[in-house]
Structure 1
Amino acid sequence: MSTKKTGTSVNFEPQPIVLTALDGFLLSGTLFMPPGAIVTSPPSTPSHDVPGHAQSATYKEQIDPLTKVVIISSATATIQDFYYKFAFYLSQELGMIVVTYDNRGVGRSMPGNEQLSILKSATEQHASAFTDQSLPAPLPPKFTTLQIGESSDTAAKSKKNKKNPLIGFEATIVDWSLQDLPGVFNFVLKHFPHNPTMFVGHSVGGHILPAIDAYYTRNLERCLYVSVTSAYWRHMNSSLFTYWFFYMASPIVNARYGYYPGKTLWNSMEDLPKGCFETWSHWGSFRNYMLGGNPEWKPNFELFKVPIYSLYFTDDDFSSTSAPIIMDLIPNTLRRCVGLDPVEDLNMKKVGHMGFFFNSCKQKLWKTAVKSWFVDGHALDRETIKQRAALESSYARL
């Protein structure tokens, strides 16, 4: 896939893409391209024009015009489509290239997904989304429910008897971190090798980032953490319920179904591979959460130096106070951790663990804190967010 050069433009709807994890597992992704011109190649500056600098040096004036790329990493048991409106805002209103994806075993990144294989093959054989003709990547063929000669009753019975693809599927959150996420960064590095990259980590999407090798994050400029709190059971708002949920009820459910049927039981989360839920609960038994469960990650956490801006909310249903604890596990980077009270600071009834990505937060958080951090590089404090949220709300009423 070749990239567009300086000054060219691409205009099309968000397109499905196939991302390849380090171990070859295929992941479903979506690419959001901004309207108008995109810049993926920095202008060359002859070394004799900038005395005292190496030929290969990159200068700030070269980097600033480049179109930024944003990777959005999902929360546990949350599909990439949940972030559609936020990704659309980043691409269409802030002019950024955005990549979303489903971790293995979640959403469309299911084991044995034939459509992903077909899309990957078609994309490799067809003109890419960045050719001079600006053609979108080809969509996979749509399959009908009924096969030739199959009645609707037979199809319904077959669907009922079909096993969930997660039964027997071996996957953990460690795979999400060390296999899937580096594969997403590889995609960005391959197609946008010069562009500064931003990162949005929601919940576990932030937990796993510092664990990956710095090779993949070499273009990473800034990180936004949203509700990246600790799920250590004693840190949770309802610690006794969490203990029962993690260590008494869920093991029985996992053993009964062979996977965690979150969609069936709660209708507010996706089904999860058994091993991913077990990682979640295992980490939840340690005060240091993910570093307690995977202490071998500690050197990478200490080496991580990309600036982090972390936002959390006092009405978070899971843990409303533990985001600073997570920040303390990444000790050697510039970081600002800001807790917001939705009622007092934003004049909103609720934000919670998931609400930041609802369209209701666009005026008061996306156009204030997010825009300031990703566009200007300023991490707003609580009082400034409160003032700008009130101002944006006033503009919205005009």
Structure 2
Amino acid sequence: MPYFDVVIVGAGAAGLFCAAQAGQRGLRVLLIDHAERVAEKIRISGGGRCNFTNRHLDPRTGHQHYLGQNPQFARSALSRFTPQHFIDLVEKNGIAFHEKHKGQLFADRSAQDIVRMLLDACALAGVQRWQPCTIETIEAEAACAPRSGFSRYRLHTSQGLVQAHNLVVATGGLSIPKIGATDFGYRIAKQFGLPIVAQRPGLVPLRFAGEDWAPYADLAGVALPVRISTGEKKPAIAFDEDLLFTHRGLSGPAILQISSYWQPGQPLTIDLLPHLDIAAALQEAKASSKKQLPNLLAQWLPTRLAEAWCQHTPAWQGPVNQCSDKALAQLAHSLSHWQITPSGTEGYAKAEVTLGGVDTQALAQQSMQAKQQPGLFFIGEVVDITGWLGGYNFQWAWASAYVCAQALQAASA
């Protein structure tokens, strides 16, 4: 029966990086994944170019870009493996990259370059990889003092029985089931008595239904920069990002960001012209222009949106110089304080991440090890730490994997 210092379940971003780091530290590592293709989520991310980190993440306040019951849990890992550490690896491997927006870094050529870098690192570190390979059962040995060669875990797999001193769960979340996402990591956590925070889709398009959406149903493809917010007073959160109309609702970076904070039944407030005092602009135009209001708005908004915005309100359809001050004030307010309530999300099929997961209270933040189960570690998306759009989730994968590999080295000494 083969024996390893560590078996890592899940060959995504966190699993691959942890395997390479552990192998480089002299550990015997087996990496197992049930999917036929490796690291599909990396490959499809960032439009196929992988937004692999965000250079604006400050390790001292990195938790501010993360959600979870205790975002502060992420600080230790993020401070020990920073965006610059991963950038150094990318540069060392000759992968060209660029900054696209707000510190978001992408590979110039292809996300496959990042996948290849991780696979090459695993190969150089002597990591064994079983893929595709399913795990049927996991058994824990009776508790006793760790010693060299002692097996804590036995895994019954489709490729046979394997023993390991440590077990790392890097199985990701429920997002994008068509590329292999499952609840397997949560099931492992439950088997060993770890609490789970309820999961829901994050970074996901939102859907709208009924009369609220009827005026905008034909605007699919229209995009524009907005300020979007949800919540009230202190819990409120806002983002300045691009909005995209779809056939069934709204998407784009603005919606993906706010979706992680939005709660069912809560309205969204959207400023369609965040960098313009639209009330003052309309009053100025009234004194000097005879343009039809839809044509006037088309100076600042996409034409299709300007036309759709005015067509259902007769007072907004005439020449601007003939509109009442009240009608213009109502128009300005509607554009800067558009309130609409989503009927739901597009679900895990379109979600980039999964909110919730293994409760951080059950894990040691210095090592990612389960507090009550020696040799059992959870890293990456399976943990109740979820980042903003823009490379933050990949940085959590790299950082949590790195501190886990350090702990594995100490545990196997």
Q: Which structure has the highest strand share of the two? A: 2
Same fold (TM over 0.5): no
- TM-score by structure 1 length? 0.26
The one of the two structures with greater contact order (alpha-carbon pairs below 8 A, sep at least 6) is 2
Compute the TM-score of the two structures, normalised by the length of structure 2: 0.25
